[in-house]
């Protein structure tokens, strides 16, 4: 008995679309079951009406009574009385339809009554059309169902995001997160900054073996200063990068909603590239500032960019910038001359 009851409760004559999701499929199944029940009820009523009409049409009873009295109707056969009742009801319905007037007033003018009935019919017609439009729109409109998943895992969110890419909403419990929680930065420096050429041991080695008889354009004379400068630049570069990394990792990623992995990676890569360019430009501006300060103040170094000329008569010392291939160090900071490593003949003190 319960099996038959479940069968009729779940009876569904209308199939669902194969592309529907689980939620949509459940909703469609319920709608189809309801539609099946309505369809069966209407079908049964239609069959009953057809059977009743057929039964009445088969029984032919000819009774001709003009203006029968109420007590006379009681002696008529059942089908005749039913037929008379149906005709009376049909007459009342026709009269109600054709004489219906919802805009009726106290006027008895037939002309006014006619227009009032026409207005009533137009009103009912447009009302029915409006109800049909609203019904069709409501039945075809997409229903929105909201389901909340508390503390979903990453795999659950990815699965839901793939199913509902445009409607999923996942608010964050914390709208800001430090970069250090999901980013690790490992800087790689130029190989010269990790070599022995910037160590103090190498610089001391060059100074110990520096001969005072080397010519001024021998590379070994200027090597100590250049390696010290190179070591300073490397140290400053490391310090700049370390400070920049600490500052960057303390920054906060602010977002009220969970974003997709593709958007997150694209945005973070863009921020990292912007941070790298900013760090490089800040370091270059520091070097350019030092160069501009030295040049603006005409500071002299000990690398023979100038030479002194003493006038024995006036005892005046004249400082004149050096010229390298028609390039004056007083006018340009890019003057240069190639250096060489000379071989010294210790006995003759000759260079070649």
182-217 pLDDT per residue, tens? 999 999 999 999 899 999 999 888 888 776 667 777
pLDDT value for 315: 65
pLDDT range class, residue 290, cuts 50, 70, 90: confident
**Which segment of 100-114, 300-314, 316-330 scores lowest on mean pLDDT?**
300-314
Q: Is the dihedral of CA 53, 56, 58, 64 positive or negative?
A: negative
**Which segment of 99-108, 119-128, 170-179, 289-298 scores lowest on mean pLDDT?**
99-108
CA angle 97, 103, 108 (to 5 degrees): 90
pLDDT value for 6: 66
pLDDT value for 22: 53
Q: What are residue 299's phi and psi, to 5 degrees?
A: -75, 140
Helix/strand/coil for 327: strand
The helix-helix angle for 78-98 and 22-58 (nearest 10°) equals 120
Which residue intervals of 15-153 are DSSP H helices?
22-58, 70-73, 78-98, 110-140
Selection from 221-235, 287-301, 331-345 with the highest mean pLDDT:
221-235
Measured distance CA(266)–CA(264) in Å, rounded:
5
pLDDT over 80 at 176, yes or no = yes
């Amino acid at each position: 008995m319960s099996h038959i009851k479940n069968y009729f409760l779940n009876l569904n004559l209308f199939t669902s679309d194969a592309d529907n999701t689980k939620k949509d499929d459940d909703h469609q199944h319920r709608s189809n079951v309801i539609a099946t029940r309505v369809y069966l009820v209407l079908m049964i009523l239609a069959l009953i009406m057809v059977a009743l009409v057929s039964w009445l049409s088969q029984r032919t009873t000819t009774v001709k009574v003009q203006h029968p009295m109420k007590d006379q109707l009681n002696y008529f056969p059942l089908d005749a009385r039913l037929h008379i009742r149906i005709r009376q009801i049909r007459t009342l319905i026709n009269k109600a339809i054709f004489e219906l007037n919802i805009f009726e007033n106290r006027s008895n003018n037939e002309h006014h009554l006619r227009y009032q009935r026409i207005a009533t019919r137009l009103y009912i017609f447009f009302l029915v059309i409006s109800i049909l439009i609203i019904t069709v729109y409501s039945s075809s409109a997409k229903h929105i169902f909201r389901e909340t998943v508390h503390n979903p895992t990453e795999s659950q969110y990815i699965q839901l995001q793939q199913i509902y890419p445009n409607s999923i909403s996942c608010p964050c419990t914390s709208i800001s997160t430090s970069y250090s929680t999901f980013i690790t930065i490992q800087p790689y420096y130029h190989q010269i900054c990790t070599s022995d050429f910037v160590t103090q041991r190498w610089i001391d080695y060059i100074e110990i073996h520096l001969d005072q008889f080397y010519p001024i354009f021998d590379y070994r004379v200027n090597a100590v200063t250049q390696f010290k400068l190179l070591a300073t630049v490397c140290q400053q570069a490391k310090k700049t990068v370390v400070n920049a990394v600490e500052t960057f990792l303390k920054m906060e990623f602010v977002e009220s909603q969970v974003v997709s992995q593709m958007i997150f990676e694209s945005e973070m890569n863009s921020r990292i590239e912007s941070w790298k360019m900013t760090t490089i430009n800040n370091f270059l501006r520091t070097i350019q500032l030092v160069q501009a300060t030295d040049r603006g103040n005409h500071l002299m170094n000990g690398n023979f960019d100038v030479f002194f000329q003493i006038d024995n008569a006036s005892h005046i010392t004249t400082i004149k910038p050096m010229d390298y291939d028609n390039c004056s160090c007083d006018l340009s900071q890019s003057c240069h001359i190639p250096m060489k490593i000379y071989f010294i003949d210790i006995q003759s003190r000759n260079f070649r």
